[in-house]
Structure 1
Amino acid sequence: MSSANYHSKVGGLPPQTDLLSSKAVFTTAYAVIPRAVMTDIVTSVLPHWTGARAWVLSRPLSGFSETFSQYLMEVQPGGGSDRPEPDKRAEAALFVVDGEMTVEFDGMANELRPGSFAYIPAGAQWCIRNEGTASVKFHWIRKAFQDVDGLEPPPAIFTHEEERPISWMPDTDERWGTTRFIDPADVRYDMHLNIVTFEPGATIPFMETHVMEHGLYVLEGKAVYRLNQDWVEVEAGDFMWLRSFCPQACYAGGPDRFRYLLYKDVNRHMKL
């Protein structure tokens, strides 16, 4: 999908004349982090990274999210890391929204650009470099891999949105669909990262209520999202964090298509 747009404008500070009101909200069922609050003063720098900063969009919290952490990373030219991941339990999913970078894995240099996706298995050795002349921005989802006795570990994936067709939901006239970077039938993987696309006027026509928790980063467009008991307006650059069983629905009011990057945990028994 060569015409795809991926929101990537973050940083800076609002002027002193701006109002303090915001659609930022944190509840026991969901959180909304609007793009307006992703400023310079809320970034983190990470050990063993150079020329890089991170907006931490989610992290495991007691009584809330439990399975993942999501960063929006910005790496300057010449920056990167030879030791990006400190936790050997952690698998990684990367999605590039702006710029170019190189991920070295298993002796191969993989060139990533906007729309590129990478899955890196837990315990793997990898490194990342920005060898270009402009900054690169990408989402980095980290999750502790849940090993299963009798299943071999999942292999790495390097691909691009253009290589993955949209799977349209039935009876929607190709108005609501999902681009899947990981085969949903492959039980070796315990997480998915997808892009969900709505054409203007399309909806999720029921209140989804399910065990999978979500991170949703809006890549393009705007919509009204139902989260638990509330209707929330969201647009490109906003992030939503949904606890397990949080009721959810969506109406893409347009005028353009609405798309978001979606994390969910899958394919494992519930811990008792």
Structure 2
Amino acid sequence: MIRSYYAPTGGHPPQTDLLTGRAVFTEAYAVIPKGVMRDIVTSCLPFWERTRAWIIARPLSGFAETFSQYIMEIQPGGGSKRPELDPEAEGVIFVVEGELTVELGGMTHRMEPGGYAFLPPASRWNVRNEGSAPVRFHWIRKAYEAVDGIAVPEAFFVNEKDIAPTAMPDTEGKWATTRFVDPQDVRHDMHVTIVTFEPGAVIPFAETHVMEHGLYVLEGKAVYRLNQDWVEVEAGDFMWLRAFCPQACYAGGPGRFRYLLYKDVNRHAALRPFWRRTGE
């Protein structure tokens, strides 16, 4: 099956466009629609060449505190020999457009659309665009929560086309999740998955849970329940949910509705502020 993924390209709307948009930030959730991912909101990052980033999530006290999420765009010949400056940060890369070359541990990996990489903390990887067209990919970062007696998970590279989705129980396959990590593997403290709904499929209850979420719509459209609101979303939109924000979904479009999903998992809830846990 051919996969397609939406990727922003920037630019700016004309002065004749209406200001009205769908962007919203509340105490429980935020929606960053594709129409606001313009040139003016991109960032340049240290030690990255011919690269810009849409930073669509970052830790915010009292909101979502565990992760950051970037959409990276590297022009031909660009990249970085020092992409990750935090030795405690783990990462996931998911390619949505173009080809990306990643070097790790003396090995070279060519990642195409649908390519997924898990990068452990302090893994000293580097990245470049050796192609003739821009490459765009998601980069999700989290401070790894080490546990005494549990090993740090190793790096791996896969492509979603090689992984069979897991159907949710009692859904006849209409709601399925592509999992890149065994949910029982407690070495991992975050999961990044792809969720797929066939037309007409639903999340038939208001999920309310401790995990924070980042949901980037890769394909299709739907109506998503966020806290007390029903919000229309489509490919290229990003939803950002704090812990315990109720959520549900109705995939009412003519085609599949798919999104890249982040959530924090497999760790105790912290009982002390971060500065007390680290001794600072």
Q: Which category of TM-score, normalised to the shorter sequence, fits these structures?
A: over 0.9
How many Å separate the matches in 2 of 1:122 and 1:78?
Answer: 26
Question: Is residue 142 of structure 2 the alignment partner of residue 146 of structure 1?
Answer: no
Aligned to 2:204: 205
How many Å separate the matches in 2 of 1:171 and 1:264?
Answer: 23
Aligned to 1:157: 156
How many Å separate the matches in 2 of 1:236 and 1:162?
Answer: 19
- Of the structure 1 ranges 169-178 and 240-249, higher mean CA displacement relative to structure 2 is found in 169-178
Contact 1:166-1:178 at 8 Å conserved across structures? yes
Contact 1:10-1:35 at 8 Å conserved across structures? no
Question: What amino acid is the match of 2:127?
Answer: I
Give the SS at the match of 1:162. Answer: helix
Question: What amino acid is the match of 1:99?
Answer: G
The structural deviation recorded for 1:90 is 0.3
Aligned to 2:176: 177
Cα offsets for 1:197-217 (capped at 9, x unmatched) = 000000000000000000000
How many Å separate the matches in 2 of 1:175 and 1:10?
Answer: 31
The structural deviation recorded for 1:9 is 3.3
Gaps of at least 5 residues in structure 2 are 272-280
How many Å separate the matches in 2 of 1:42 and 1:182?
Answer: 32
Question: What amino acid is the match of 2:182?
Answer: D
How many Å separate the matches in 1 of 2:16 and 2:254?
Answer: 30
Cα offsets for 1:62-107 (capped at 9, x unmatched) = 1111000000000000000000001011001000000001100011
How many Å separate the matches in 2 of 1:258 and 1:17?
Answer: 31
Aligned to 2:60: 61
Cα offsets for 1:183-210 (capped at 9, x unmatched) = 1111100000000000000000000000
Question: What amino acid is the match of 2:6?
Answer: H
Aligned to 2:194: 195
How many Å separate the matches in 2 of 1:61 and 1:10?
Answer: 26
Q: State percent identity of aligned pairs.
A: 68
Aligned to 1:255: 254
Contact 2:189-2:264 at 8 Å conserved across structures? yes
- 4+ aligned runs moved over 4 Å, structure 1: none
Contact 2:8-2:37 at 8 Å conserved across structures? no
Question: What amino acid is the match of 1:255?
Answer: P
For 1:14-33, what aligned pairs fall within 5 Å after superposition?
A: 14-33=13-32
Contact 2:202-2:251 at 8 Å conserved across structures? yes
Give the SS at the match of 2:86. Answer: coil
How many Å separate the matches in 1 of 2:176 and 2:16?
Answer: 41
Question: Is residue 265 of structure 2 the alignment partner of residue 266 of structure 1?
Answer: yes
Contact 1:224-1:231 at 8 Å conserved across structures? yes
Gaps of at least 5 residues in structure 1 are none
The structural deviation recorded for 1:157 is 1.3
How many Å separate the matches in 2 of 1:163 and 1:189?
Answer: 21
Q: TM-score, normalised by structure 2?
A: 0.96
How many Å separate the matches in 1 of 2:176 and 2:258?
Answer: 10
The structural deviation recorded for 1:10 is 2.7
